[in-house]
Structure 1
Amino acid sequence: MSFSLPFAYPWLAERTFLEPASEFEYAGFRGLLFSMAICCILGGILRFLGRGSRGSHLFQKEAMAIVGLSWVLATILGALPYYLSGTSIGPDSSMTFIEAMFESQSGFSTTGATVLTDLETPELVPHCILFWRSWTHFLGGLGIVVLFVAILGQGSAGKAMMRAEMPGPTKEGSMPRMQHTALVFAAIYVALNAILTAIYMLEGMTLFDGLCHAFGTMATGGFSTYNASHGQFDSAIIDYTTILFMIAAGTNFTLLYLTLIGGPKRLLADVEFRTFIGIIFLVTVGVVFFGMRAGDYRFDNIFDALRFGLFQVVSIITTTGYGTADFDGWNNFGRGILLMIMFIGGCAGSTGGGLKVIRHILFYKILVHEIEHAHRPRVVRFIRIGGSNVDDPAIARGILVYFSMILAIFVVSWLALITLEPNSTWGVDDSYTTQEAAAAGMTDTLDEKLLDCASAVIATLNNIGPGVGVVGATQNYAGFSQGAKLLFVWLMMLGRVEIFSVLVLIFPTFWRRV
């Protein structure tokens, strides 16, 4: 028995929703059942151990611990379905538990990076596991702990947990009750997922593909059910639909709520949203201009250039990571500008990753303020955002500290990766010295290693997914060593959660009683 749609495209003829289950699908289903059983048992044990703390007040320190530890636990438990189902990263390579953790963290953190080399072969990746990896996007879209706050609510601690889950400076217009805020966010998020799924089905997707790609779009995750990602559909209407909803997912959800009750003028009045759209416009113009000038792949005419250029720019800046063209083969400006906007990300309070647009706005204003103060020290001028003064020095200090932390983490992780990752990942014999590799004409390959490692760190730290080189739009992370994949797991977690909520876990002083 099969289920198909009247508007299905020819490539969907063999992609049905209800098909006879194979032994591999049964293995995947058993893996999910065993994982559910383990989670239920562990949950019961933790509930039993915490029975004496019911009704006790939750402080900010405990809230930070819950955020950090819940993501660690979610990564481990989320890896069980991959590992217990026998999912393989390739025809001759079974998935290790570290690789299962990589896929789990990539899903929950909505990064969309993958170690799976073939998504379309059920013998390697059962369909139920494909759905599970997309479902982790759905859960991670607003954050596991945000859902916890929405259900339970914890007063001021709930506010701290929301801030840790949705990093970014607090903006005027946020609703005071954090539990109500989380419920509103969740309602908008679920509604947008349902609407997008219905639209995808009308445009020709099956229910299975529609759900999976809606989860990936609204969570700005990027997991697809096809090796070619969104390029599999090769449909302009699907591409522009996805662009629209990626922009919505990268917009502050508080602003979306205020727009629903106050009209579109709320969007235009918001400085962060205007900057967000302005960056998309300017970068797209640059990508299209230089892409057509260089004759880049799929830039045959202005309409195709606009379609593929805009899609990729929106996909990268919202940290979704979907692809409709191999942008790794574009000109240097196109690749360089895409790498640059990976550090920008979506708006604060959105499902997008990155540093957030509002932080860049504040960073720019702080720099201008300090430059003016250097030559006009007696002038007293406040930093203004959206017509309001930012008179709290802690906000400016927090922005500078955050940018410094991101830079430090990037540099340290990049140096660690280029030092520890074997040259064999790039096809160079590890027994070669640098001089021997140069004599063998492999200098360019080793130079590529520097860029590829930087790209991989940027793409995982900012929850993008694809980068350039060995992790380009048509590549994956399967070729990296186990240690590198563990490093990427940590980077994806740092990028998704407020950095300090994860870093405090490694400081002994955090665990001491005061």
Structure 2
Amino acid sequence: MQTLQYLRPTLYATCFFSMHVAVAMLLPAFVDLADGSPDWMVFVGVSVAVFVVSLLGILSLRQPLPRFSPRFGFLVTTVLWLSTCFVGALPFYFSALNLSFAQSVFEAVSGLTTTGSTVIAGLDNVPRGILLWRALLQFFGGIGIVAIGLFLFPFLRIGGMQLFRAESSDRSDKALPRVVQLTTALVVIYVGLNVLCTLVYAALGMTFFDAVTHAMATVSTGGFSTHDASFGFFPSPAIHWAAIVFMILGGLPFVLFVDLCVNGKLTLFNDIQVRVFVAAIVAASIALAIWLTATHDMAFHDALTHAAFNVTSIITTTGFASTDYALWGPFAVALFLILTFIGGCSGSTTGGIKIYRFIIVFAALNRSLHRLVYPNAVVPLRYGDRRVDADVFESVMTFLIAFFALLAIITVLLSLTSGLDLVTSLTGALTALCNVGPGLGDIIGPAGNFATLDDAAVWVLSAAMLLGRLEIMTILVLLSPIYWRS
């Protein structure tokens, strides 16, 4: 079969990337060694084993790569993310945390997909090597999803991302002459944002270790913290506002940063999705701050800080929390449930449905209403000032149908496998598919975690996080018999 010819180069690419992941494990090993934690031997042992196996795989599988095609793209993307999740889970499994294999995979998947859900309780007492490894997984996952969101998903016509293919190419060509240089620029910008965020956090009072790990979790919009209280551990409003800024930066299209840094052109707000994204954060934050001031006897500036932080965290699918916002009342709970769906911009580190899809859907709704009044009118579907092709609209609608169908299926599976209540099952499925982190309810809410869920629920949620991170269709197409036909 035609697809089978791609298995060998896919495994080669997997081994190549796993070898680099193995080298990265030495960083937390050094930290644990310096701290006197015996887990340093776990990191070194896993690193050596994965490196040797990967090197042998590279030597035995080396051959000229095939011409890139959608079939190859779907396969290599899915296998690469799956294998990296399993490799990233090994330090958790062999550490002193006593996690089951399902829980270890869940933690690694949550890190690499920048979801931020965790099965580890008592983070304040966990060895720093493990905490650093969690942050590194989110760092790698953040830059990984930016890369495939800018270069691969538009090519594979995933979820309407082809809308940005010509735009991204045009802007990239204007900014830098070659794709390799564009990739280099994106990596430099991503690393630069992490360094800048680290310096800001440290200057505002975080320890250097907390600053490094939280910066990697902020720019990647991942949400892993080194403390059970998340950002509630840091009482400084200045730290919260700094996090708001960097979470927003992580939710913006990274290709537009290239225009700014290379050409000196501030084109961010020329993109309608950026304007809607920022407007949604501002509007929701102000509305929630007013609600808190009126109902919780809270000073407006304190209310605005907590509201803006948690609204930004949920919309950007970061998942940090400054307090248990589930206690803010029904309006706040309903608002956060809605915000969980949204996500950031295309080509960012965020998850969720994404702003541009909502813009296209509402444009289609407006066009339908116009046609009801003027049946013979020719009303093109537009995204900002650009016309939306029929195949883009079809891709967006296909994604939304698949999203809500999977949301229903995963909700039912969670209620069946673990006997979870409706709120926990629904918000657990939603936060996994949207890569947000916390759900709602007493178990997985912002003040809880996923540690008490059984292995069956953990496996379901791990699959949901991967589906959401890879825009659903990337994985679903591999389950279709037509994909494997010649």
- Fold equivalence (TM over 0.5): yes
1:481 aligned to 2:454? yes
Q: How does 1:13-32 map to 2 (within 5 A)?
A: 21=34, 25-26=37-38, 28-32=39-43
Q: Which residue of structure 2 aligns with residue 118 of structure 1?
A: 122
Residues 160 and 395 of structure 2 are in contact (CA less than 8 Å); yes or no, is this contact kept in structure 1? no
Q: Which residue of structure 2 aligns with residue 207 of structure 1?
A: 208
**In structure 2, how many angstroms separate the alpha carbons of the residues matched to 1:168 and 1:221?**
25
Q: Which residue identity is paired with 1:458? A: L
Within the candidate set 142, 151, 160, 2:155 is matched to: 160
**In structure 2, how many angstroms separate the alpha carbons of the residues matched to 1:145 and 1:35?**
28
Q: Which residue of structure 1 aligns with residue 357 of structure 2?
A: 359
1:450 aligned to 2:412? no
**In structure 1, how many angstroms separate the alpha carbons of the residues matched to 2:134 and 2:191?**
17
Q: Which residue of structure 2 aligns with residue 410 of structure 1?
A: 407
Residues 143 and 165 of structure 1 are in contact (CA less than 8 Å); yes or no, is this contact kept in structure 2? no
**In structure 2, how many angstroms separate the alpha carbons of the residues matched to 1:464 and 1:310?**
16
Q: Which residue of structure 2 aligns with residue 46 of structure 1?
A: 57
Within the candidate set 94, 101, 108, 2:105 is matched to: 101
**In structure 2, how many angstroms separate the alpha carbons of the residues matched to 1:258 and 1:459?**
32
1:190 aligned to 2:191? yes
State the shift of 1:159 in Å.
6.6
**In structure 2, how many angstroms separate the alpha carbons of the residues matched to 1:137 and 1:98?**
19
**In structure 2, how many angstroms separate the alpha carbons of the residues matched to 1:46 and 1:160?**
28
**In structure 2, how many angstroms separate the alpha carbons of the residues matched to 1:67 and 1:414?**
26
State the shift of 1:157 in Å.
7.0
Q: Which residue of structure 2 aligns with residue 421 of structure 1?
A: 418
1:170 aligned to 2:164? yes
Cα 1:167–1:115 change in 2 (3 A) is: farther
Q: Which residue of structure 2 aligns with residue 433 of structure 1?
A: none
Q: Deviations over 1:128-172 (max 9, x none)?
A: 01100000010000217938x99xxxxx979737x7699674162
Q: Which residue of structure 1 aligns with residue 343 of structure 2?
A: 345
Within the candidate set 65, 81, 88, 1:71 is matched to: 81
Q: Which residue identity is paired with 1:160? A: F
Q: Which residue identity is paired with 1:507? A: S
Residues 231 and 325 of structure 1 are in contact (CA less than 8 Å); yes or no, is this contact kept in structure 2? yes
Within the candidate set 326, 330, 333, 2:331 is matched to: 333
Q: Deviations over 1:422-480 (max 9, x none)?
A: 36xxxxxxxxxxxxxxxxxxxxxxxxx11121111111110110111111111000111
Percent identity, aligned pairs only, is: 31
Between Structure 1 and Structure 2, the one with more helix by share is 2
Q: Which residue of structure 2 aligns with residue 445 of structure 1?
A: none
Q: Single out whichever of 327-336 and 365-374 deviates more from structure 2.
A: 365-374
**In structure 2, how many angstroms separate the alpha carbons of the residues matched to 1:191 and 1:509?**
43
Cα RMSD (Å)? 2.5
Q: Single out whichever of 169-178 and 352-361 deviates more from structure 2.
A: 169-178
Residues 146 and 254 of structure 2 are in contact (CA less than 8 Å); yes or no, is this contact kept in structure 1? no
Cα 1:178–1:370 change in 2 (3 A) is: farther
Residues 63 and 158 of structure 1 are in contact (CA less than 8 Å); yes or no, is this contact kept in structure 2? no
Structure 2: segments with no counterpart, 5+ residues: 1-29
Residues 85 and 108 of structure 2 are in contact (CA less than 8 Å); yes or no, is this contact kept in structure 1? yes
Q: Which residue of structure 1 aligns with residue 71 of structure 2?
A: 61
Q: Which residue identity is paired with 1:54? A: P
**In structure 1, how many angstroms separate the alpha carbons of the residues matched to 2:396 and 2:323?**
35
Q: Which residue identity is paired with 2:429? A: V
1:291 aligned to 2:292? yes
Q: Which residue identity is paired with 1:130? A: L
Q: Which residue of structure 1 aligns with residue 4 of structure 2?
A: none
Q: Secondary structure at the match of 2:255?
A: helix
Cα 1:202–1:157 change in 2 (3 A) is: closer
Q: Which residue of structure 2 aligns with residue 129 of structure 1?
A: 130
Q: Which residue of structure 2 aligns with residue 437 of structure 1?
A: none
Residues 251 and 273 of structure 1 are in contact (CA less than 8 Å); yes or no, is this contact kept in structure 2? yes
Cα 1:280–1:490 change in 2 (3 A) is: same
Q: Which residue identity is paired with 1:464? A: V
**In structure 1, how many angstroms separate the alpha carbons of the residues matched to 2:95 and 2:385?**
55
**In structure 2, how many angstroms separate the alpha carbons of the residues matched to 1:468 and 1:332?**
12
* Greater gyration radius: 1
Cα 1:157–1:193 change in 2 (3 A) is: closer
**In structure 2, how many angstroms separate the alpha carbons of the residues matched to 1:401 and 1:134?**
33
Q: Which residue identity is paired with 1:399? A: V
Cα 1:376–1:45 change in 2 (3 A) is: farther
Stretches of 4+ moved more than 6 A in 1?
17-20, 156-159, 163-166
**In structure 1, how many angstroms separate the alpha carbons of the residues matched to 2:78 and 2:201?**
35
Q: How does 1:133-148 map to 2 (within 5 A)?
A: 133-143=134-144, 146=147
Q: Deviations over 1:15-43 (max 9, x none)?
A: xx9898566x12x2111112212221231
State the shift of 1:511 in Å.
2.9
Q: How does 1:200-279 map to 2 (within 5 A)?
A: 200-261=201-262, 265-279=266-280
Residues 31 and 82 of structure 1 are in contact (CA less than 8 Å); yes or no, is this contact kept in structure 2? no
Cα 1:100–1:466 change in 2 (3 A) is: same
Q: Which residue identity is paired with 1:493? A: L
Residues 321 and 466 of structure 1 are in contact (CA less than 8 Å); yes or no, is this contact kept in structure 2? yes
**In structure 2, how many angstroms separate the alpha carbons of the residues matched to 1:362 and 1:467?**
27
Cα 1:321–1:412 change in 2 (3 A) is: same
Cα 1:179–1:265 change in 2 (3 A) is: closer
State the shift of 1:378 in Å.
1.4
Matched residue pairs, number? 449
1:396 aligned to 2:390? no
Q: Which residue identity is paired with 1:459? A: T
Q: Which residue of structure 2 aligns with residue 82 of structure 1?
A: 92
Structure 1: segments with no counterpart, 5+ residues: 1-16, 88-93, 151-155, 424-448
Cα 1:178–1:408 change in 2 (3 A) is: farther
